[in-house]
Structure 1
């Protein structure tokens, strides 16, 4: 919640402007509009401890300077000041060292990425931060792959050495020829006995605990389960969810687990859903009772989103006493009898949390190296192998590869050779980037590769790119959808060596008179032109032949449809030429309803 205060008339309009922006802030904050000295005197009674003080930001009444006064780093006042400065057009005056040096905020970065941070005293945390901001040798161990570790790896300061496992760090530290790190930062769901190095550990929420138990099992089994998780070397702080079958949703042990892990989500699954999951330790007896072959393992797998079990079913028991029994003859109280109550648990790790190989299919954009997406560039910078389509993708796109990365062109390699190379790196737990031109999902030839990845159960994802048809619109300075003229864009190709379905023949698509972007068809331009004319496009329809869009060699030729074949032949346009057809080219006559005077919701308040 943000409270905004002002002490004079001059600041009231500024205060209202800030309120209307609906600032995003997680916590308590006070924005004071007025002189800094007055602000300091007014907040003096609030000052207690930097870990509990509210964020306080002071803005002068003109909005020129925005100053975090209290709890700037831990409480978030620094970021709030930046947000307000963007609104007022002013300057955020930040004095926190880690913020000004661009170094990671070690005490708050866990909160930013949803990680829990190990419990350290304020002094220990401050010493660790001082070591880091003073650029002393630091080790970073990332044992998961998520948004946070992706950021850390891509923004590693020069005094930080990166490791993929704690074991690699230990080998490095024990090598007398290397500098001894004075600080260890570790992001891992594993619990290590770390000695001899000052450290901060972050626990990413990537583990999913599945549990099963006998009916009316005592609540105490919850603690035994967590003891088992710890004994297996995992941190309970990384448990993202506790999962079980609907039959057990009211068990006291489940509710106790949730109480002990208040940050974890409870996942309840039906017997039908769990029965579809193959488990490594199936039990016919469990199936008779529950309808699935393993509650703990199936529930953990269901919750971990295509991840894997890291601890298979563990069966344990706890002793309990029967209710007091009486003799049926003389009502004599008999001794309580102990009995064993059995329970099971298993642990799964999210797909994104698993440290394993990954293949990212990245769209390189139409050609200009600056037109790859920010996400795509980050993958290129982190990749252990970049396999790029050498005949279509500029090699300059690979120049951002990290030291030691392997960069190969797929030109001259058949599909099997490409796959074997990617699998070699994948099987070693490496990151592979398969770099395709444009957007890989449009004539990108990734279907066959994905079939291989699916067959071998490999983890992969697609980062979209800017398609050449979008680059054509930009370079032609044309809007391809014109109000009341054309509201459809057709992406297609002529029928060359690759057959086209009968219902998608060019003369049929031409009947729509839409903006048409034709890929991979310059070599059959005569057939393309005749099909378009036969379909109904007037001979005078505007066309554009776009060669190597956004490359240094880019050339664009405009004309009319009746001259299309001559334009391509006279200018020797063959490969990497897009043909654009339609009235949208260079059209400035359509008026978007967005700026129609009847749409008064776009006008400022009070205007007609």
Structure 2
């Protein structure tokens, strides 16, 4: 975004400079010749003559001056620049013009947070936490289409709380946002035939499908359809784009949802391929080689196409490839508008957009519900089933589950039982969260589950979490690496019922005297201590960390020679992390960041934060 910061009064110079530092591509303009600004003869003249070259304006000064300066250029909310006004004291940042479409509301919030001002936004949908329907499409890459009423009338009905049906027939980032922020007067549906239209005044539909609504409808067309194209050499392109559009519509899909146009490299310079880009204006283009397409199974392979291009298919194969191996919704169609100008096309639906079951393996963090990631928390809020590792994950983490969600502990289930309940929900097209302690990749037992998912070609993804070894470092107020002394952290476990690989025996790992975090080993602490003492000195610091970040967290410090005694006397169990190494409580060793050549980057402690002095820790 190209932004002009208009400095009306020199009193606001520092505010203008702080905003400029935060906004890439911004310049400060003034009539006063203030240092660091670009001189202009008059504000109104500058706006009139050069205003069209900027996406946004930020005025620093009186609101009246701002309003009079922009008045001559105001045309339409769909073309006006974003305008924000900040008073010269920096107390208020006001969204003046083009709040939604031009982005002034978002810019106002950014400016306010940069200078510590109060944002002033008067747009009703923003102040009532309602969706900004006129910018949703732009935000999520959807094409807009109205039916039965104008955009303004639909927005008016929606923001005034009229009963609204929301149809979501695909899923993407935008539909997840809508589900998560559903207003009370909106009811969500996932199938067209389920909507009792007579009960609603407005319909909002995120879908590539063509329907016949009887109430005012705002369609958002997501770019989930992928068009594959092949043709004879030098095929006449006249009318082909319109022909394909009509065929797509006849098949029940909107051409506005075509997200990409695809072909093989042999056809990349064909006039027909390039002409389609002017018909499907929002679509990207992809070119594939025959090697890219060789493993793609298609319903209509062709020996002739194989002979010419090296691939058994062009239209179907490139459509499937671009759709991430999603299903064909329109198999290969043959067309010819003028004699000798044959072409083929096919249409596939993006696999990721299919509204079907999905499993998210989520790292719960070490236990404190506030230490789950933002994404992990959002997954829990959206899940239809939460299956959590009850013996290791506090149930409090699941309290954010939506109404109607099923929450089950897997503590009493074997692997087959866990998979059975997850597959039951998955087969209904529902969203499952498998909640594991810490980070799932560390002793998370997810490999066996993923093996099941792969066997049944199920959709799944992993959201990482904070591991208990990181929680241990925080609780011990220790940096687990020491410059020039310890630069390695070893995550391992003692040998219990599960044998350790011969090369990973504790006494071999102990040779490096690195910081060692030992999981799941309280029950075999005698063996752990014996192996570690083969290479660590007896006085090496140790910490036994029980239920890190839980309400009943306990931490016991000592020396390695007393490790077994510490564990046994305090009856520490499975959820205990053992940390060994000189990094515990270490305050020696200087990072290069604090070496003499970098001292100029830091302020003197005397002028630092309140409560800070050179001889103490930060108190505030």
TM over 0.5: yes
Q: How does 1:325-474 map to 2 (within 5 A)?
A: 339-474=339-474
1:166 aligns with 2:207: no
1:237 & 1:140 partners in 2: Cα distance?
19
TM-score by length of 2: 0.90
Please give the secondary structure, in 2, of the residue aligned with 1:200: strand
Partner of 2:132: 105
Q: How does 1:123-522 map to 2 (within 5 A)?
A: 124-169=150-195, 172-173=196-197, 180-194=199-213, 196-219=214-237, 220-314=239-333, 316-320=334-338, 339-522=339-522
1:49 aligns with 2:68: no
The answer (yes or no) to whether the contact 2:359–2:434 under 8 Å persists in 1 is yes
For residues 80-111 of structure 1, give each alpha carbon's deviation from its aligned partner in whole angstroms, at most 9, with x where no partner exists. Answer: 11111111111111111111111110111111
Partner of 1:333: none
Q: Report the Cα offset of residue 310 of structure 1.
A: 2.4
The answer (yes or no) to whether the contact 2:224–2:259 under 8 Å persists in 1 is yes
Q: Report the Cα offset of residue 470 of structure 1.
A: 0.9
Unaligned segments of structure 1, at least 5 residues: 175-179, 321-338
Q: Report the Cα offset of residue 425 of structure 1.
A: 1.4
Q: Report the Cα offset of residue 553 of structure 1.
A: 1.8
Q: Report the Cα offset of residue 590 of structure 1.
A: 2.6
1:372 & 1:11 partners in 2: Cα distance?
41
Partner of 2:41: none
Please give the secondary structure, in 2, of the residue aligned with 1:598: helix
Q: Report the Cα offset of residue 361 of structure 1.
A: 0.6
2:599 & 2:248 partners in 1: Cα distance?
61
TM-score by length of 1: 0.91
For residues 265-284 of structure 1, give each alpha carbon's deviation from its aligned partner in whole angstroms, at most 9, with x where no partner exists. Answer: 11000011112212222222
Indicate how the Cα distance of structure 1 residues 413 and 568 shifts in structure 2: closer, same or farther if over 3 A, else same.
same
Moved over 3 A (4+): 23-27, 600-604
1:153 & 1:601 partners in 2: Cα distance?
50
1:36 aligns with 2:63: yes
**Count of aligned pairs:** 576
Q: Report the Cα offset of residue 211 of structure 1.
A: 1.1
The answer (yes or no) to whether the contact 1:222–1:254 under 8 Å persists in 2 is no
Q: Report the Cα offset of residue 193 of structure 1.
A: 2.1
Deviates more, 1:442-451 or 1:138-147: 138-147
For residues 338-372 of structure 1, give each alpha carbon's deviation from its aligned partner in whole angstroms, at most 9, with x where no partner exists. Answer: x3533221112222211111111111111112222
The answer (yes or no) to whether the contact 2:146–2:217 under 8 Å persists in 1 is no
Q: Report the Cα offset of residue 600 of structure 1.
A: 6.0
Please give the secondary structure, in 2, of the residue aligned with 1:112: helix
Partner of 1:577: 576
Partner of 2:612: none
For residues 450-471 of structure 1, give each alpha carbon's deviation from its aligned partner in whole angstroms, at most 9, with x where no partner exists. Answer: 0111111111000111111111
Please give the secondary structure, in 2, of the residue aligned with 1:558: strand
Please give the secondary structure, in 1, of the residue aligned with 2:353: coil
Indicate how the Cα distance of structure 1 residues 27 and 411 shifts in structure 2: closer, same or farther if over 3 A, else same.
farther
The answer (yes or no) to whether the contact 1:23–1:83 under 8 Å persists in 2 is no
2:202 & 2:290 partners in 1: Cα distance?
48
2:134 & 2:324 partners in 1: Cα distance?
30
Q: Report the Cα offset of residue 532 of structure 1.
A: 0.8
1:80 & 1:2 partners in 2: Cα distance?
10
1:456 & 1:400 partners in 2: Cα distance?
30
Unaligned segments of structure 2, at least 5 residues: 27-52, 604-620
Indicate how the Cα distance of structure 1 residues 584 and 279 shifts in structure 2: closer, same or farther if over 3 A, else same.
same
The answer (yes or no) to whether the contact 2:3–2:25 under 8 Å persists in 1 is no
Deviates more, 1:92-101 or 1:44-53: 44-53
2:466 & 2:205 partners in 1: Cα distance?
36
2:416 & 2:554 partners in 1: Cα distance?
35
Partner of 2:38: none
2:481 & 2:285 partners in 1: Cα distance?
48
Q: Report the Cα offset of residue 387 of structure 1.
A: 1.3
- When the two chains are superposed, the root-mean-square deviation of aligned CA atoms in Å is 1.9
Indicate how the Cα distance of structure 1 residues 319 and 206 shifts in structure 2: closer, same or farther if over 3 A, else same.
closer
Partner of 2:117: 90
1:601 & 1:384 partners in 2: Cα distance?
54
Q: Report the Cα offset of residue 201 of structure 1.
A: 1.0
Partner of 1:324: none
Partner of 2:102: 75
1:362 & 1:319 partners in 2: Cα distance?
53
The answer (yes or no) to whether the contact 1:142–1:186 under 8 Å persists in 2 is yes
The answer (yes or no) to whether the contact 1:139–1:185 under 8 Å persists in 2 is yes
